[in-house]
């Protein structure tokens, strides 16, 4: 049983302003697995004051000094990788293999990328007689989700540190263990006091005072579109910068070619990863009408390979994060059935033999039309919808017919054809044949948010741009 009753503020572990706690439930067992302190506006005030006090010193450090701190974090992060993975398995039900490789591994990948970018980043550049300077924006409020805790903490904290900002992190109340271990890592790595601060709690108690705080210069949020709208409202009176990575309903266009069956199978397995709890998941698979029957057969076979079970074992996927999430997914699966989609695999209820835990049957619907609820709403569970298209123009039109624009996928043997389709998709992150790159900009169009994370692009939202005219009159 974990017990985390202190926050990390000003380089020390401190008691909360009020002795309020919350329990954390292990989604695999439905049993309480820990107790965590819950913050308040007073705790946010103290953490923001600490970050503000540390800003002058940290923002004036050299690139070499910040590189040294990030490299120290990397060393401790690697030592504590097993502790992070164990926390992830316990709090969100991520299978051990996934927690170790992808969940914790993504955090390490973003850290090494940030170090490499920082060593070469141009904080100043001359443009004729003008000097353009990129300066740290100030105190940052970082609000992260539960589904990929280490990835989302990494893509906010590391660029903020690299650019000379100070910060207050509020992890999701559903995944507080990871944030607590991460704070221990930064403390052990020697991050100067006040540069990084951690306050646990939920949105109303901590997220609202953090996003509305007048001494916070920038808020970076990852989560639902609904919550993102509220954060933007909270931040508006102080005219602070707000960057957001929000919901998605990402298309996966499978082209009509010799790799069709392979690409359908790969798309099914990709969708089910992390129990479907990925904002950029390829949740709408588009296949030619003429190959729908083949797609159904392949998808049914591929879904059968996705084992569900105890996340401490060798199952491919574990439970979804909570009872509330389980109920919502069940309701949307039933909605798909009620609206006339063809149920190919899975369905409502738990998988056989799993009476306890928030386990969802890997589910595939076919003959889905883009006006159905399961094609419009982000389900955030292991549920794939397969839609038919007449030709490539039709596929692109269907893919873009969504209020979201976070990600898109194109799968095909003809790379030129796949490239042409990728250029037409209205989304911020497009993967051709499962391409991946830590240096790629990640972020959304439309209601999927604004701003970009990852690599060099992740630095820019934490920087102000200053132009100094007449700096070099001889130019």
Could you list the active site residues? 245, 279
CA distance 163 to 195: 12
What residue spans of 60-175 are helical by DSSP H? 63-79, 81-92, 96-98, 104-120, 149-162
List, in order, residues 6 or more apart from 109 with CB less than 8 Å away: 438
Q: How many CA atoms lie within 13 A of 338 on its CB side?
A: 9
| DSSP secondary structure string for all residues of 274-333 | GGG--TT---EEEEEGGGHHHHHHHHHHHHHT--B--TTTT-SB---S-HHHHHHHHHHH
Length of the chain (residues)? 475
Q: Which residue has the tokens 């490499």?
A: 116
**What is the edge-to-edge ordering of all strands in the sheet holding 21-26?**
2-4, 31-37, 21-26
Q: How many CA atoms lie within 13 A of 9 on its CB side?
A: 21
Q: Residue 355 is encoded by which pair of tokens?
A: 């009476």
Q: Which residue has the tokens 């559903």?
A: 174
- In contact, 248 and 378? CB cutoff 8 Å: yes
Burial class (CB in 10 A: 0-12, 13-18, 19+), 28: buried
Residues paired with residue 285 on neighbouring β-strands, in sequence order:
252, 386
Q: Residue 297 is encoded by which pair of tokens?
A: 């057969």
Q: Is the dihedral of CA 196, 201, 206, 207 positive or negative?
A: positive
- Provide the CA 49 distance to its chain's centre, in angstroms: 27
If phi > 0 it is left, if psi is from -120 to 50 it is alpha, else beta; for residue 474 that is alpha
Q: Residue 261 is encoded by which pair of tokens?
A: 């069956």
List, in order, residues 6 or more apart from 50 with CB less than 8 Å away: 9, 10, 193, 194, 197
CA distance 287 to 73: 45
Q: Residue 298 is encoded by which pair of tokens?
A: 């392949």
């Amino acid at each position: 049983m974990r017990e985390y009753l202190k926050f990390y503020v000003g380089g020390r572990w401190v008691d909360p302003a009020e002795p309020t706690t919350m329990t954390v439930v292990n989604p695999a067992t439905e049993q309480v697995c820990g107790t965590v302190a819950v913050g308040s506006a007073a705790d946010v005030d103290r953490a923001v004051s600490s970050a503000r006090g540390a800003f002058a010193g940290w923002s004036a450090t050299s690139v070499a000094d910040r590189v040294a701190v990030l490299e120290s974090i990397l060393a401790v992060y690697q030592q504590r990788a097993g502790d992070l993975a164990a926390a992830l398995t316990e709090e969100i039900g991520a299978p051990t293999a996934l927690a170790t490789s992808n969940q914790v591994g993504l955090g390490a990948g973003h850290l090494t990328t940030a170090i490499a970018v920082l060593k070469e980043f141009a904080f100043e550049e001359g443009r004729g007689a003008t000097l353009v300077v990129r300066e740290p924006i100030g105190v940052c409020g970082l609000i992260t989700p539960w589904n990929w805790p280490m990835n989302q903490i990494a893509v906010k904290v590391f660029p903020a540190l690299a650019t000379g900002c100070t910060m207050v992190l509020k992890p999701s109340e559903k995944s507080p263990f990871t944030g607590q271990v991460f704070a221990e890592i930064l403390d052990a790595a020697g991050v100067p006091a006040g540069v990084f601060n951690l306050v646990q709690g939920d949105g109303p108690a901590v997220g609202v005072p953090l996003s509305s705080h007048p001494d916070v210069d920038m808020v970076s949020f990852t989560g639902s579109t609904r919550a993102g709208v509220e954060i933007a409202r909270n931040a508006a009176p102080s005219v602070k910068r707000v960057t957001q990575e929000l919901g998605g309903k990402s298309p996966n266009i499978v082209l009509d070619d010799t790799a069709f069956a392979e690409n359908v199978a790969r798309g099914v397995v990709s969708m089910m990863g992390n129990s479907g709890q990925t904002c950029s998941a390829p949740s709408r698979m588009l296949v030619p009408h003429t190959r729908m029957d083949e797609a159904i057969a392949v998808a049914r076979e591929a879904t059968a390979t996705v084992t569900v079970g105890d996340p401490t074992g060798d199952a491919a996927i574990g439970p979804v994060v909570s009872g509330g999430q389980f109920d919502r997914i069940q309701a949307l699966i039933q909605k798909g059935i009620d609206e006339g989609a063809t149920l190919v695999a899975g369905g409502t209820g738990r998988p056989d033999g799993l009476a306890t835990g928030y386990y969802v049957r890997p589910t595939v619907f076919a003959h889905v039309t883009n006006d159905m609820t399961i094609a419009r709403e982000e389900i955030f569970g292991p549920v794939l919808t397969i839609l038919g298209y007449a030709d490539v123009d039709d596929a692109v039109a269907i893919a873009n017919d969504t209020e979201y624009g976070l990600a898109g996928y194109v799968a095909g043997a003809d790379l030129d054809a796949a490239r042409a389709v990728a250029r037409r998709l209205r989304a911020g992150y497009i993967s051709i044949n499962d391409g991946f790159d830590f240096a790629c900009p990640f972020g959304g169009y439309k209601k999927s948010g604004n701003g970009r994370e990852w690599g060099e692009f992740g630095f820019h939202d934490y920087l102000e741009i200053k132009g100094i005219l007449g700096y070099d009159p001889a130019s």
